[in-house]
Amino acid sequence: MDSEADANKAGLSKQTLIVETAFRLFKQNGFYATGVDMIMQEAGISKRTLYKYFRTKGELIVAVLAYYRASYQSHMATVIDPNNRPARDNLLAIFDDAKTWFGDAQFHGCLAVNAMGEFSGKDHAIEDACTDFKRWEIEVLQGLTQQINPNKADELAYKLFVLLEGMSAIALVTKGDYPVDMTAMAAELIDRYC
Amino acid sequence: MDSEADANKAGLSKQTLIVETAFRLFKQNGFYATGVDMIMQEAGISKRTLYKYFRTKGELIVAVLAYYRASYQSHMATVIDPNNRPARDNLLAIFDDAKTWFGDAQFHGCLAVNAMGEFSGKDHAIEDACTDFKRWEIEVLQGLTQQINPNKADELAYKLFVLLEGMSAIALVTKGDYPVDMTAMAAELIDRYC
DNA sequence: GACAAAGTAAACAGATCGGTTTACATTTTT
DNA sequence: AAAAATGTAAACCGATCTGTTTACTTTGTC
């Protein structure tokens, strides 16, 4: 039909190619340390094309954070089985998944947290993308804790969120080697709300 | 006696002036975003002096992280009363302190965590400074949990550490407004180890 | 085959990066 | 007073930064 359809037929539109390449590089090297030249060379596209789809590097970063959220969302869909499994098991599955997720030697921290570290107080659109991401993370937990204890769903969700964020931050330092079983810790917490 | 003594008499040696200025700017703007020109202008010193005390920007960053640790250490000394207070109270005091600490509108996350986000896999000396800082944080907790439950001191310390790191990471997003009482959550955790 | 869209490659812009060097002023020690 | 150390101010270096522009090539559509 049109050229975009052909590009999709080849697997990727230019725009998603740019976003996915930038996503990988931002994870590896951070945001400031990753120049647009590096992104453009790694994606095999010209600088003009990059600036056609994204007017500034900041816009690209926001798009990458949205992509990060979307890809994490679809990953979550494979971790959570909403119908045929108790909410407790789904929550613990999240923690088990996080353990392998954070334990990857290539893991350099949550991209949204890192973006906050680099742009907090400097770029409002990026800040918003990060808070949106974290808000969604909490909502996923709330959807599950709602099935466990409707009266204290938010409270439990938030406590579990603290655990997950703590795991993520510590993984950077301990190289994903947790001296305590975090899934068990989450289970203990959940069971006090049943 | 010598010039350093005079400088100390005036309050600051050049070296500490540089480190403290860089410390403030790194907290505000991040590491990559803070150029040496900005540090040197803000400190009111020449670039040559800066490069006399620190051969590279990376060396300065390592020094700043060491300063961060030292200043946090002396702050901890004011929070913890090791002799005349039960370890449980000291631990809870740490959580209360962290709440106000992280709730500051100027708080941009733990400097060591942010440094990891920017330099993980890129600068070995900086990585080491960050892990040293976190290791010390855990040791402080271990010293207190030891008094509560010697058999499971490390386990409890690590769990409390997860809570603290989680609080810190979330503070960036929620602006330090915790929907649950984290000190109470820590207390519940501790009391299961008494 | 003409035409428009979308692409590449590369020069260019001005600013800033980390870092060096030169020239000069101010101290401090002898 | 002479000498040495320590500092500032600023030019300078090559590289890199985000972003623009020019010229040319490919591609798909009518």
Tens of pLDDT along A42-61?
999 999 999 999 999 999 99
B14 CB and strand D closer than 7 A: yes
Domain boundaries, chain B: 1-55, 57-191
3-state secondary structure B92-153: HHHHHHHHHHHHCCCCCCCHHHHHHHHHCCCCHHHHHHHHHHHHHHHHHHHHHHHHHCHHHH
The domain made up of B1-55 has a fold known as Arc Repressor Mutant, subunit A (1.10.10)
User: Could you tell me the pLDDT band of residue B8, with boundaries at 50, 70 and 90?
Assistant: very low
Would B1-55 and B57-191 be classified into the same CATH topology? no
CB pairs under 8 A between A and B: 131
Of B186, B181, B180, B113, the residue nearest B156 (C-alpha): B186
Residues 17-46 of B with CB under 8 A from A: 28-30, 32-33
Quote the tokens at residue B124: 């070995």
Backbone angles phi, psi at A80, to 5 degrees: -95, 135
The architecture (CATH level 2) of B57-191 comes to Orthogonal Bundle (1.10)
pLDDT value at residue A176? 64
What is the rounded distance in angstroms from the CA atom of residue B184 to the CA atom of residue B190? 10
Answer whether residue B9 shows pLDDT above 60. Answer: no
Task: For chain B, say whether A130 makes contact (Cβ under 8 Å).
Answer: yes
User: Could you tell me the pLDDT band of residue B176, with boundaries at 50, 70 and 90?
Assistant: low
Q: Please tell me the class of the A62-191 domain.
A: mainly alpha
Nearest to B165 among A32, A134, A166 (CB): A166
**How far are the Cα atoms of B118, B129, B132, B187 from residue B115, in angstroms, in the given order?**
5, 9, 13, 30
Contact A108 B121 (CB under 8 A): yes
pLDDT value at residue B27? 96
Stretch B176-182: mean pLDDT: 83
Quote the tokens at residue B122: 């890129």
A48 CB and strand C closer than 7 A: yes
Task: For chain B, say whether A172 makes contact (Cβ under 8 Å).
Answer: yes
